[in-house]
Structure 1
């Protein structure tokens, strides 16, 4: 405070002391039960908002089924291309290498147990039940969730959504439903291609490392790996796709017009989508195990 008049120096000292006192007494002014209560309240508000969002989406979906002309084909086609089809090469490459890695690691372990021929079953079951579905879901959670939240959030910031409401356009019909349907349509396709790529990666690795010919790999895959593993994986796809789309669109509509909040909402949307995918996949695994599927 050198060079300042005495009255200003004294003022700065008082402000500095008050600020330090505020920081030091933060925990005292907000005890543990108060902070815990705030967390529970925010969680309750989030659940309430999610329930309201799901209700509106359900109404929009039922109305569109009853009257298909409400579906916007241009918006749906654009969302299918951007949210799904553009992710296809990356998903195929990633699952190819994951299938190869599973075969490489599994071959080493199975050779030690004298059961190297079971590598085909290991690759087939793991890819069909888990990796063929989980990898596309994780990639779409990072790509599509952020895209949906950013696009809708930017429209909220620019007050485009308010203009649409003034013109009598339903936001769920125009913004949410096309994105929701696009993932329901594209994710099964992406999962099937991911499964094929993962099996191809396992085939190449088994052929190069263990000398298992492609014909033998395919024959053993057909005879030893039941088709139910494929349907188990596909059964999870609609639920995961819905979780991804709902999370992104919900956080996009929650933006209030602040650039900082837009970035925060996009980040939270991606994190919540990833958490939902892992949680739902684990829940499905437990459920299928209980019923012996």
Structure 2
């Protein structure tokens, strides 16, 4: 047994190197005898160790030798191991690779040049990200065109399943959000308009705000947080388990199987969710106007029809397909960027939500500027 083996250390000092000969077993039970003696060696000579008489070595013994080698290298000296078996050499290499490497902290440069370099790198990274998103969008349109030419290849079951997930299951939260937004708009609007005796215009305020902006915009925000994360988690999990590689091996195109039904389901369901949000927002506003201002539902409906142009509905709903494309492409792209660990999956899921919401806000602002310029 290792506990009964005695380790002998014979030393013969040369003029340029310390010659050591180890006898016995270098294991976890015996290294405590060797380690203090090796630490007492002065690192002012090269060291040569003969391992011919070493009967057995485990990772603890290999670590002692690697630690000595590291200490000698730190003083400009070397460690030479002789008569080591092939197994010992492989074990030492494995332990040497696992040894922690002390790295000096990188001191970031300062000044105008460093600041400009940081900005340049950020711009380059952002441009590369936009190019990647554009490539994924192109893949979607390419696969969609292929499905139109070859409808028998279309996966209708996957489309229905994703439509249920991103659309039907999102109805309760979207409806509740829109209803409460309508209530808040009516309450706050009435508080301000009562000062001027213009309570009746609260109907116009609710209608234009909900139909033109808030209905579809807040719906897209909720869908971005709910669906973009779901897309990233689903595709990222498949990538972690190498299922996507298996799909490619089987001759299946990930863009056709994974991206197309998800983004197409969003394209179909987001306008419907937007209509539901519009109706629930108007219902909430009408209820609060009735309670707070005494505007009856019939009067609210009459004022809504007379004072609200149908163009407001068009302006709101025309944004839905663009928001759906943004959310779907961002979610699928983030899923494909997941590496082989759970930390990467969590990070990319969070990035997908933030990026999708930010992109929806930017797109909504651009639409507002566009419609203002054309007078719509």
Gaps of 5+ in 2: 1-35, 43-66, 75-101
Is the 1:103–1:206 Cα contact (8 Å) retained in structure 2?
Answer: yes
Instruction: Report Cα offsets for 1:30-56 as digits up to 9, x if no partner.
Output: 932333333233223212322322222
In the alignment, which of 125, 145, 151 is matched to residue 208 of structure 2? 125
| Off by >6 Å, runs of 4+ in structure 1 | 4-8
In the alignment, which of 179, 184, 197 is matched to residue 101 of structure 1? 184
Q: How do 1:14-163 and structure 2 match up within 5 A?
A: 22=105, 25-27=107-109, 31-163=114-246
How far does residue 28 in structure 1 lie from its aligned partner after superposition? 5.2
With structure 2 as the length reference, what TM-score do the two structures score? 0.71
**SS of structure 2 residue aligned to 1:230:** helix
Report what 2:261 is aligned to: 178
* RMSD, aligned CA: 2.2
Q: 1:220 to 1:253 in 2, by over 3 A?
A: same
CA distance in 1, matches of 2:178, 2:137: 32
Instruction: Report Cα offsets for 1:244-264 as digits up to 9, x if no partner.
Output: 111101111122322211111
How far does residue 63 in structure 1 lie from its aligned partner after superposition? 0.5
**SS of structure 1 residue aligned to 2:333:** helix
CA distance in 1, matches of 2:375, 2:318: 15
Decide which structure has the larger Cα Rg and report it.
2
> Normalized per residue, which structure has more helix?
1
Is the 1:70–1:173 Cα contact (8 Å) retained in structure 2?
Answer: no
CA distance in 1, matches of 2:133, 2:175: 33
Report what 2:273 is aligned to: 190
Report what 2:305 is aligned to: 222
Count of paired positions: 281
Matched, 1:257 2:340: yes
Instruction: Report Cα offsets for 1:58-110 as digits up to 9, x if no partner.
Output: 21111112222222111111101111110101110110010011011111111
CA distance in 1, matches of 2:346, 2:287: 42
State the structure with bigger RCO (CA 8 A, min sep 6), 1 or 2: 1
With structure 1 as the length reference, what TM-score do the two structures score? 0.90
Is the 1:251–1:269 Cα contact (8 Å) retained in structure 2?
Answer: yes
CA distance in 1, matches of 2:124, 2:153: 37
CA distance in 2, matches of 1:246, 1:52: 10
Instruction: Report Cα offsets for 1:213-270 as digits up to 9, x if no partner.
Output: 0111011111111111111111111001111111101111122322211111111110
Gaps of 5+ in 1: none
Report what 2:369 is aligned to: 286
Instruction: Report Cα offsets for 1:182-204 as digits up to 9, x if no partner.
Output: 01111111111110000000000
**SS of structure 2 residue aligned to 1:22:** coil
Please say which of residues 113-122 and 199-208 is displaced more in the overlay. Answer: 113-122
CA distance in 2, matches of 1:279, 1:45: 18
Q: How do 1:227-238 and structure 2 match up within 5 A?
A: 227-238=310-321
In the alignment, which of 270, 293, 297 is matched to residue 210 of structure 1? 293
Matched, 1:169 2:255: no
CA distance in 2, matches of 1:260, 1:272: 18
> Normalized per residue, which structure has more strand?
2
Is the 1:153–1:254 Cα contact (8 Å) retained in structure 2?
Answer: yes
CA distance in 2, matches of 1:209, 1:182: 40
